[in-house]
Homo-oligomer: A and B are copies of this chain.
Amino acid sequence: MEDDRLSRVFAALADPTRRDIVARLSLGDATVGQLAAPYAVSVQAVSKHLKVLEDAGLVSRSRDAQRRPCHLEAEVFDLMTSWVDRYRRQAQERYSRLDDLLAAMDNEEGAAS
């Protein structure tokens, strides 16, 4: 489902190492080895992280001989932001209605006195 995809995107970004990888890829494509270099963990661990990002649709990988260059698919971000914006807007609307109500009560009180 679409639900599943959203869950995978959020879960993928819940890990600091993976967010870091995304940040690096936003500057340009990179191979697994290049991405793994700055971290204390093994290359295999980074490869796993990339698989998670790939399953979430955030990263795609092509071939270049033994190399597997990684590319950020930034459009997937929209899935998240549209979800977030929807409920943020809803909450905000509710607040403004509450403000209206309070304003109306103030008015009534003012008229009564």
Q: CA separation between A83 and B81, bound complex, in Å?
A: 11
Cβ-defined contact, A72 with B84, below 8 A? no
Cβ-defined contact, B26 with A90, below 8 A? yes
Cβ-defined contact, B80 with A84, below 8 A? yes
* A10-26 at interface with B (beta carbon < 8 Å): 10-11, 13-16, 19, 22-23, 25-26
Q: Does A27 contact B (CB under 8 A)?
A: yes
Cβ-defined contact, B77 with A88, below 8 A? yes
Chain A interface residue count, CB cutoff 8 Å, equals: 31
Q: CA separation between A23 and B91, bound complex, in Å?
A: 9
Q: Which residues of B contact A26 (CB under 8 A)?
A: 87-88, 90-91, 94
Q: Does A44 contact B (CB under 8 A)?
A: no
Q: Which residues of B contact A84 (CB under 8 A)?
A: 77, 80-81
Q: Which residues of B contact A77 (CB under 8 A)?
A: 84, 87-88
Q: Does A38 contact B (CB under 8 A)?
A: no
Closest 7 CB pairs of A and B: A11-B14, A10-B14, A26-B87, A26-B90, A74-B91, A26-B91, A10-B13
